[in-house]
Structure 1
Amino acid sequence: MRVDVTETINGVPVTEEQIAAWAAEADAGYNAQDLKRRGRGRPGRGAEPSQVVALRLTATELAELDARATREGKSRSEVIREALATSAA
């Protein structure tokens, strides 16, 4: 007995046709070099691995950070890194 479950990827329903196409692609085989070039995860920031640091901010501080990031067209992380670099100089 098959249960009718609608699976989605990024909110788009996965069809039986798409599953069949993926299966055919897998059956045909993959080029290992092509898979290695796809890149996984976030892009690196340098030669060494980056560390993730948790930071607690008040709602006001977070709103101010987001406003500045939006105003300057940057991410939160970019604004924080620039502030650290300026204060360390």
Structure 2
Amino acid sequence: MSDGETIGGVPVTEQQLAAWAAEAEVGYDIDVLKRRGRGRPGRGAEPAQVVALRLTSEELAALDARAAREHKSRSELIREAIAAYAA
């Protein structure tokens, strides 16, 4: 390629582009493409919503202390507190 495109610092060649095009023309196994790879596991059938939460340093310290005592993450404790409140 004349414009110096790279992937991970490795130059992309015309031969690589031709190989990718040939692979695409043959087709892909959709089930293989849909399999989850690395990353956080899902929490259910639907994607989870990320919600920002502002805490004071004292609230955060208390949350972290309890999380350490219970061997849980901040998120786990917050979800448990919301579930208990909503019940």
Alignment TM class, shorter chain as reference: 0.5 to 0.7
The aligned runs of 1:5-84 (5 Å cut-off) are 33=32, 39-84=37-82
Point out where structure 2 has 5 or more consecutive residues left out of the alignment.
1-28
Partners of 1:36 and 1:45 lie apart in 2 by: 17
Give the TM-score taking structure 1 as reference length.
Answer: 0.58
For the aligned residue pairs, the C-alpha RMSD in angstroms reads 2.5
State the partner residue of 1:88: 86
Q: In the alignment, residue 61 of structure 1 is paired with which amino acid?
A: E
- Which aligned segments of 4 or more residues in structure 1 are displaced greater than 4 angstroms? 35-38
Give the TM-score taking structure 2 as reference length.
Answer: 0.59
Q: Percent identity?
A: 79
